[in-house]
A = this chain, B = another copy of it.
Amino acid sequence: MTRRTALRNTRDKSFSDWYHEVIEAAEMGEHSGVRGCMIIRPWGYAIWERIQRHLDDKIRETGHENCYFPIFIPMELIEKEADHVSGFAKEMAIVTHHRLEESGSNDLRPTAPLKTPLIIRPTSEAMITEAFQRWVKSYRDLPLKLNQWANVVRWELRPRLFLRTSEFLWQEGHTVHETSQEANEEVETMLECYRQLLEEFMSIPVITGIKSEGERFPGAVSTHTIEAMMQDGRALQAGTSHNLGINFAQASGIRYLGRDEKLSIPHTTSWGVSTRLIGALIMVHADDDGLRLPPRLSPYQIVILPIDNNEKARVKVHKRCREIADQTKSLNFEGERLRVKIDTKDDTPSNKRWKWIKKGIPIIIEIGPRDLESGQLAVHRRDFEERKAIFKKSENFLEEVPALLKEIQQTMFTKARDWRDKMTATDITNLATLRSYFENNSGFVRGKWYQDLASEEVLKKFGVTVRCYPYEQTGSRGNCIVSGRSTEVDAVFAKSY
């Protein structure tokens, strides 16, 4: 293809510059004056709200309740769980004062130092576990299944919008169970919610699996993960679900009176996804014309543009736009009414069309004076490579819309999955080949792996990690790519974000 693209930066030339231009062109977000902190603009936030609403419904359906814990964690609490905390210590924002006062030269400076500094939560594990210790007394209090939507802060020295920011938005689930089996079911249930969110709602194919020892959440018994491939062949960990066993409960002294009338230590879990998902969305679906949104996720599935340069036809065109909008809004897709917008802004039709292309709207409809006479609509499909209208009789089009949206949703998924499969090597059997593969390519390698921490360190030296042991295992025996030892375990290797 040689046609001009809407973005100056293309994926081929610089994936990173292209990524940032997609965000800018779609007005999704931008860096703020505070290093590492982003402003999520309305279009980015509308996407986050769609994700949030969809996932929140799943979280409720699976029996969880939302709540809210303070943003500040007292130092003492942090010191209690030193092991867990060591992973975050280098990136913690710390509040030391609670007042501003004018100094001599009219400048403001912090005064009123706190007796003990407060940490801004990098995760609420410590706060919530402390509350569990007070709330859980008996098996009657179990299972206790909570979730929180919140902002968290992890000081980030190399920020990247949506992917790595000092402040980000997320949900964190925290649960307490009587038995190990229940905790395991919980961890798998939530990972399955995440898989559905990504695959069925965001059209992002993922590999579900279990993290290696080196990649596990500090203090967890096991970490389950969904891993997606970006268009540059790198992996992105899109969500994790941790079985914490009795480790956290034991450390914080959670005890409950069991059905056997004895005091027992319960099993806990935690799980989360964040605004990072928007980074994944961009890197999986966007193209050199900007963002592309799967219909179920998109804040609007259809944008209608009146071609109203002709003053005389203006009123009629607008009336027709409203009719089409009303008719499409009354249609259903995946259990929801269609979301439709007429863009009546004072701008040229071409500017407006490109604006919505860059914002990723699945279907753009243009209606002008000529279309009124012919009864036709000019329909632009965002999933098509070519930026060209298809003309449709309006009654036919209205009938077809739900099926069309379904097709777009599915096509986006299939395209991403095919790309991933194409970019996945399965014929690598030793370290030398693996190494030269990652020197010359990016992508996933599926191969045998003898689960040991030492050879994870070997891989890390050339920037590769074990992404997970997929749930789907072949069961065949072979030799570990790194150590050559005999093993039945399949793993996925990749460079990652």
Contacts and interface: CB of A to CB of B under 8 A. Distances in A.
Interface of A: 32-34, 37-42, 44-46, 48-49, 65-79, 82, 85, 89-101, 107-108, 110, 117-120, 127, 130-131, 140, 146, 150-151, 153, 155, 167, 169, 345-347
B100 A94 contact: yes
A94 B90 contact: no
B33 A71 contact: no
25 contacts: A32-B70, A32-B127, A33-B74, A33-B76, A33-B130, A34-B70, A34-B72, A34-B118, A37-B70, A42-B65, A42-B66, A71-B71, A71-B153, A72-B167, A89-B99, A89-B100, A90-B100, A92-B98, A92-B100, A95-B120, A96-B96, A97-B117, A99-B155, A100-B119, A120-B120
Contacts of A69: 32, 39-40
A67 B32 CA distance: 13
Contacts of A151: 71, 150-151
Contacts of A346: 140
A99 B110 contact: no
Nearest to A43: B65
Contacts of A110: 94, 96, 117
A96 B97 contact: yes
Give the 10 A-B residue pairs with the shortest CB-CB distance, closest first: A37-B70, A42-B65, A40-B68, A98-B155, A89-B100, A94-B110, A94-B97, A34-B72, A96-B96, A45-B67
Contacts of A70: 32, 34, 37-39, 167
B39 A67 contact: yes
Contacts of A45: 65-68
B98 A91 contact: yes
Contacts of A34: 70, 72-74, 118
A286 B493 CA distance: 59
A75 B119 contact: no
A342 to B, nearest CB: 13
Contacts of A39: 67-70, 127, 131
Contacts of A95: 93-96, 120
A73 B35 CA distance: 11
Of A32, A74, A94, A131, most B-chain CB atoms within 10 Å: A94
A194 to B, nearest CB: 22
A131 to B, nearest CB: 6
Nearest to A111: B94
A74 B90 CA distance: 21
Contacts of A65: 42, 45-46
Contacts of A117: 97, 110
